[in-house]
Structure 1
Amino acid sequence: MINRASSFLWNLGQFSTFVPTSRTMRLYPLGFSRLKVVFSNNSNQRNLLSDFGNRVQPSIRYLFQDALIFKSRDFKTRGISTETVLTVNKVLCPRRLSFDSKRSLVSDDGLKINFHLEASSEDVLTKETKPTPVNYRKLAQECSSLSDVLDTFSEAPTFPSSNYVSAMWTVAKRLSEDQKRAEKQLMFNHPAFSQLCEQMMREAKIMHCDHLLFSLLAVVKLGIPQNTRLVQTLLRVVQERINECDEKCLSVLSTILEAMEPCKNVDALRAGVWILADQQVWKIERVFTLQAVMKCVGKGAPIALKRKLEMKALRELDRFSDLNSQHMFEALAAMNHRSVTLLNECSKMVLGNIHGCPFRVLISILQACRDLRYRNVDLFKGIADYVAATIDIWKLKQVLFLLILLENLGFRHTDLMDLFMKKVIDDPASLNMKSIISILHVYSSLNHFHKCQTQELQEALASSLTGYLHHISSENLLNAVCSFCLMNHFPLALINQLLQKDIINELLTSGDIERNTHKLRVLAACLKLDISCHKAGDLALPPLPSTPFYSNAKVADALSSLLGEGCFLKNVQLPHNYHIDFEVRMDVNRSQVLPFSSVDVVPAAADIQRVALLCVPRSAYCLDLTHPKGFLAMKMRHLKVMGFHVILVHNWEIEKLEMKDIVTFLKTELYSAEVFPTTDVNLQSAC
């Protein structure tokens, strides 16, 4: 009997170390729902527990594994009410306790504590609910500025902080550029901004992976500098948790890295994306995710990964939407991977829905084609046809930007260029100096002339540009004058300004000196040969550097077979820095070839016809391969002034021909009585 009593008292003493005698504890900050603990109303137990007030214990949190923070309250003499917060997962007291079927906590020695879900009128606090996390969409609707979001955060910050940053990004997207700049400055100066940043850094390791990535994306889009501790901390945490990324997270992470500048943490994450993409590429279900990954991996990705992404895209072609086909150009350009098959298929889809394609997407497609060196005449023609048909709805600057890209691709669309020419003539005052110089470059480079409007365009642009003489830089003036020279037009006001000694010295001593010198040589040749201007001799230009000449062995062998040795010259250097591949002397009727004399290499007799054979590459022509570009057209014009008959030999065609076919071609060109057609070269005819 004594042993049983002492055992019972020992157990009761052990239990008293886990239950505070004078206070009841509850979790206050998180406000979860609570269970009430009520001791059974037994007089013996009441007497035994009456001495608990003499020994106040630290906290009941040691009894349950998941109870974190509690608030105390006095016990009652007729029972003990306690409220806990989280589910009881494990009992941590030294003596084993268990729950019976009636929700009573039972020790090995028979002591029971009954748990009742019903609350007494006196002992149970009012039930508190868990604070609901802020919804960033709702918050973005309620707030009109970034400061409003920060004010809301400072009043009652809740987890996760990513919702506040996402709301700020959503608000910022509604603002104009000027408003964004002002709001961002106010955001940086707001007293709660640093608090939000600190909370984000603390929460980074416990956020859901998608919340973490959306937070980083919002931070980057809000323009928070990349070298700040916040951004670098988030980047490091993403590195640690990159294995948690599913397809959605991979898409967001790819978008983030695409928008960031290279640095150690960004480069490390990009390498991680390479590994993830290589592992998960066949599991990617959404085409947009695939394209985001392609943009992210970049030009430095392993070629094996690029080909794997290309194969995945080819497999998904049947699921491509119009938007997918439009964005695939940009994705391939981002990783510098030229997949002709994929580009051809996407080009067909783009052409099939060209009228639903936004203008900025058309620009993006052309930029990607330029970067990938992808030439598709049907695609370029379809885009230009669409813009020409709807030219009235576009601004002049938009159409000009499109023409600049088409010129970079070497594509000349006559209808669009004629329509644009007419609009410029009708309203030249709407163009600024930069636009005028760009128009001159496009039309001179593509050697585009209109039989009635070209002269009007040249005069309108020259007149407009003359108004900028006191503001234009030396290089811009040189570019404009060189473009006029290619178009065989010579505005004296601009030329006289350019030929001033201080401007020439500036061009020869600063900037891209080699390029400037080349254009000054073009100017000198045009002034001498086209208008016989004496000022051309005043240009003291550095000597022309020696350049290697191409042997053109197949053409040389064909000429030897056709004419014999001594009847032609190779690699002839002419005045004004012109070079021709082969020169042949013939009679005026071009009926027979005259041999070269060892003494008089270039006879000046009037009964001699000099023939210049130019071996030209494909790049010297527009994309249709029938219209020479500006520099080739100018060279042909100047050679004719110097008394040559010009024959063009296409390198890319010669490479495909057998020797006998090359001989036949040269014989036809040399002995033909017809003059080489010049309608595609330049010539401005009157209406």
Structure 2
Amino acid sequence: MNHRAGSFLWNLRQLHTLVTTIRTVRLYSLEFCRPNIVYSHWNPRNLLNNFDNGVQSSIRYLVQDSLIFKSGDDSFQIKGISTVTVPAVDRLLCLRRLSFDSKHSPVPDDDLKKMNEATYEDVLIKKPKPTPNKCRELSQECNSLVDVLDKYSEVPRYLSNNYLSAMWSIAKRMSEDQKRFEKQLMFSHPSFSQLCEQTMREAKVMPFNQLLFSLHAVVKLGIPQNTLLVQTLLRVVQERINECGEKCLSVLSAVLEAMEPCKNVDTLRIGLRILVDQQLWKIEHVFTLQVVMKCIGKDAPDILKRKLEMKALRDFGKFSTLNSQHMFEVLAAMNHHSVLLLNECSKMVIDNIHGCPLKVLINILQSCRELRYYNLYLFKGIADYVATTFDIWKLKHVISLLILFANLGFRHTGLMDLLKKKVIDEPDCLNIKNIVPILHVYSSLNHFYECQAQEFLKVMASAVTVYLYHISSENLLNAVCSFCMMNHFPLVLINQLLQKDIINELLLSADMKRNVGKLHILAACLKLDDNPFQNTKDLALPQLPSTPLYPNAKVAEVLSSLLGEKYFSENVQLPHKYHIDFEIRMDTKRNQVLPFSPVDLSTPATNIQRVAVLCVPKSNYCLDSAHPRGFLAMKMRHLKVMGFHVILVNNWEMEKLEKKDAVKFLKTQIYSSEAFPTGGVNLQSTH
């Protein structure tokens, strides 16, 4: 009797607490929009928090076809807009308070009655027994998400995280279309709302690893991030983040990586960074380290990034081949250019490249581009491997690889010749999706002058002609521009491109600036190159903004010392938007430099050789070679048509030379080889 009276008084006190802390919340029908739920007062210094602060603003909770809030009298408000009086959550949930709604409790009634008699401390100390195989049993017994919910509706024998994890395990086995259909059925299932409610009730008392698995499953199942279920789980994880061990670190990192930024996600990410900083040297598994590094983000403090780099270098002896392959993507996600780590991983990747999936190689090259990491040994090893096993790869995969190589400025002649031979031998392999990328690769890398070049270009032009009335205007422009850069002019394609309506469409496009640049290239090629369109009237194109001029002070100083102030001109603008850094005028044999001023120039124009000195950065060449890339090669061709002799001066090499050596280098470049044996030749040098 005393026990019943004590229980009654305890319940009465709880009811009094609920009545004195009620609040009114306005509910809205389900809308997929940005979250309006914000948790505040989270202290990252101790990483623990209290749920007593409640939630601010309106709260949206996804269950079935409506939003549901449960009030103190076990009634539900469903559909439409309504105002419901709900109690504020003012203390930690425990199993005793869950006894008010035991219909869907994860434990039988008898056990629940015993647990209600336990003290508050007992509940916190005695955690539910782990059920590691329940999720596997459910996923093996059921074939769909609805089957799991049906089993839950019969008798909910397990904790909620087992059902959620089983549903995600089943969803992973489905195709995208099937997964989309199953999710629709899941949201409309009558037991789904009950499972969501049970998950929130159990969040504070279930083991921390199961809490993280529940959050992971909820996110992966596509439950909107702005729902009360997801935000509640995020909040509880914030409160209990100090319980995070190494395995939980990897799960939490994977979850945060899959979520969009919001108040609670950002706060939890900050907490994760603090926790990683504290536990970094205790992490034993490379996989955990890489997942954490990938989740840390690009905006993480540099000091934390360097600590993670040092940890990875210290544990490099534990790296497997898979770890080395994955490290490129991890560093790109961090935006951390670690040369030592990338070099070591590159060696391991190439040493174990046989059998590596092409998708992994493509991810590596994409990461290298993001990190601006140029390793000729790595690129050549990948290209050699693909060239050796060329016949086993699909054409689209090889093209994807070549596009990345082109973006990195790497030209592998063997692989490109293999693709060219395949195109010539099997023209049917070309389609509207791969024609333009192939042309872009070969034109940007200036790879067209070897044997069978004309045959290759004719096959490509025929393939574009087949799809002429199915290709977009921008793709047609890209294709024609690539042909022109390679000095090939297919009549049908150019005539189609020069149609007034197509030109107007290109000029009104969202990418108008880029289109105008390509049209200027087309106009220059049609005017200067040997083609049937030389008599075509000029295209009325908008003027491009002038590009900034970079001074070449050292080259100007050397030329002044070598030739004299009046014997060269700097920053010369030419037709078709071409610019040369320095112009020199010489006799036709290039033995003598002539005064540059036209007033003092008495020599007939036919006896003058104009010399263009171009100061070229390393990016204008293919990687680690003297092979000019597409635009530079076209510019040199056009300057020769204009009557110039072209001299290339490599900026990075000129900066390394002493002034005396620089003068000697330019002297040998400017004057003809026949000029040096002649003792009476005036080199116009002050030295």
Normalized against structure 2, the TM-score is what? 0.78
Residue of structure 2 equivalent to 1:117: none
Call closer, same or farther: CA 1:594–1:86 in 2, change over 3 Å. closer
SS in 2 for 1:449: coil
Q: Is the Cα–Cα contact under 8 Å of residues 98 and 201 in structure 2 kept in the other structure?
A: no
Q: Which runs of 4+ in 1 moved over 6 A?
A: 13-19, 65-69, 86-90, 130-134, 600-604
Residue of structure 2 equivalent to 1:180: 179
SS in 2 for 1:337: coil
What pairs with 1:515-554 in structure 2 (closer than 5 Å)? 515-531=514-530, 533-534=533-534, 536-554=536-554
- Residue 400, structure 1, aligned to residue 420, structure 2: no
Residue of structure 1 equivalent to 2:443: 444
Pairwise CA distance, 1:674: 8.4
Pairwise CA distance, 1:524: 0.3
Call closer, same or farther: CA 1:602–1:538 in 2, change over 3 Å. farther
- State the alpha-carbon separation in 1 of the partners of residues 98 and 264 from structure 2: 36
- State the alpha-carbon separation in 2 of the partners of residues 584 and 422 from structure 1: 43
Call closer, same or farther: CA 1:222–1:429 in 2, change over 3 Å. farther
- State the alpha-carbon separation in 1 of the partners of residues 602 and 256 from structure 2: 65
Residue of structure 2 equivalent to 1:461: 460
Residue of structure 1 equivalent to 2:266: 267
Residue of structure 2 equivalent to 1:113: none
TM-superposition CA deviations, 1:342-365 (whole Å, max 9, x none): 111111111111114222211111
The residue identity in structure 1 corresponding to 2:311 is K
Q: Identity rate of aligned residues, in percent?
A: 71
Q: Which moved more, 1:224-233 or 1:479-488?
A: 224-233
Pairwise CA distance, 1:283: 1.0
Pairwise CA distance, 1:439: 0.8
SS in 1 for 2:238: helix
Pairwise CA distance, 1:476: 1.6
Pairwise CA distance, 1:18: 10
TM-superposition CA deviations, 1:322-356 (whole Å, max 9, x none): 11111111111101000101111111111111114
SS in 2 for 1:585: strand
Residue of structure 2 equivalent to 1:205: 204
- State the alpha-carbon separation in 1 of the partners of residues 115 and 214 from structure 2: 29
Residue of structure 1 equivalent to 2:555: 555
Question: Which ranges of structure 2 fall in alignment gaps of 5 or more residues?
Answer: 8-94, 100-111, 120-128, 676-687
SS in 2 for 1:614: strand
Pairwise CA distance, 1:534: 4.2
- State the alpha-carbon separation in 2 of the partners of residues 232 and 339 from structure 1: 36
- State the alpha-carbon separation in 1 of the partners of residues 543 and 4 from structure 2: 104
TM-superposition CA deviations, 1:217-248 (whole Å, max 9, x none): 11222222222332222222212221211111
Q: Is the Cα–Cα contact under 8 Å of residues 67 and 85 in structure 1 kept in the other structure?
A: no
Residue of structure 2 equivalent to 1:160: 159
Pairwise CA distance, 1:611: 1.1
Q: Is the Cα–Cα contact under 8 Å of residues 437 and 480 in structure 1 kept in the other structure?
A: yes
Pairwise CA distance, 1:602: 11
- State the alpha-carbon separation in 1 of the partners of residues 227 and 602 from structure 2: 72
TM-superposition CA deviations, 1:44-64 (whole Å, max 9, x none): xxxxxxxxxxxxxxxxxxxxx
- State the alpha-carbon separation in 2 of the partners of residues 15 and 329 from structure 1: 64
Call closer, same or farther: CA 1:17–1:652 in 2, change over 3 Å. closer
Q: Is the Cα–Cα contact under 8 Å of residues 618 and 625 in structure 1 kept in the other structure?
A: no
- State the alpha-carbon separation in 1 of the partners of residues 584 and 140 from structure 2: 80
- State the alpha-carbon separation in 2 of the partners of residues 150 and 426 from structure 1: 56
Call closer, same or farther: CA 1:230–1:86 in 2, change over 3 Å. closer
SS in 1 for 2:191: helix
SS in 2 for 1:538: coil
Residue of structure 1 equivalent to 2:384: 385
Call closer, same or farther: CA 1:318–1:291 in 2, change over 3 Å. same
What pairs with 1:79-158 in structure 2 (closer than 5 Å)? 85=114, 135-158=134-157
Call closer, same or farther: CA 1:288–1:543 in 2, change over 3 Å. same
Q: Is the Cα–Cα contact under 8 Å of residues 248 and 289 in structure 1 kept in the other structure?
A: yes
Pairwise CA distance, 1:453: 2.7
Residue of structure 2 equivalent to 1:329: 328
Residue of structure 2 equivalent to 1:229: 228
- State the alpha-carbon separation in 1 of the partners of residues 601 and 237 from structure 2: 76
TM-superposition CA deviations, 1:623-681 (whole Å, max 9, x none): 02311100000000111111111110000000111111111001111123389xxxxxx
Question: Which ranges of structure 1 fall in alignment gaps of 5 or more residues?
Answer: 1-12, 20-64, 70-82, 91-129, 676-687
Residue of structure 1 equivalent to 2:250: 251
- Residue 670, structure 1, aligned to residue 655, structure 2: no
> How many residue pairs end up in the alignment?
567
TM-superposition CA deviations, 1:500-542 (whole Å, max 9, x none): 1222122223222221111111000000111352465331112
Residue of structure 2 equivalent to 1:613: 613
Pairwise CA distance, 1:67: 14
What pairs with 1:66-85 in structure 2 (closer than 5 Å)? 85=114
Pairwise CA distance, 1:252: 0.3
Pairwise CA distance, 1:16: 12
Residue of structure 2 equivalent to 1:74: none
Q: Is the Cα–Cα contact under 8 Å of residues 133 and 159 in structure 1 kept in the other structure?
A: no
Pairwise CA distance, 1:261: 1.4
Call closer, same or farther: CA 1:395–1:14 in 2, change over 3 Å. closer
Pairwise CA distance, 1:579: 0.9
TM-superposition CA deviations, 1:2-30 (whole Å, max 9, x none): xxxxxxxxxxx9899999xxxxxxxxxxx
- State the alpha-carbon separation in 2 of the partners of residues 631 and 168 from structure 1: 54
Normalized against structure 1, the TM-score is what? 0.78
- State the alpha-carbon separation in 2 of the partners of residues 596 and 133 from structure 1: 86
TM-superposition CA deviations, 1:256-309 (whole Å, max 9, x none): 111111112211111111111111111111111111111001001111111111
RMSD: 2.8
Residue of structure 2 equivalent to 1:317: 316
Call closer, same or farther: CA 1:328–1:15 in 2, change over 3 Å. closer
Q: Is the Cα–Cα contact under 8 Å of residues 595 and 601 in structure 2 kept in the other structure?
A: no
The residue identity in structure 2 corresponding to 1:549 is L
- State the alpha-carbon separation in 1 of the partners of residues 644 and 116 from structure 2: 99
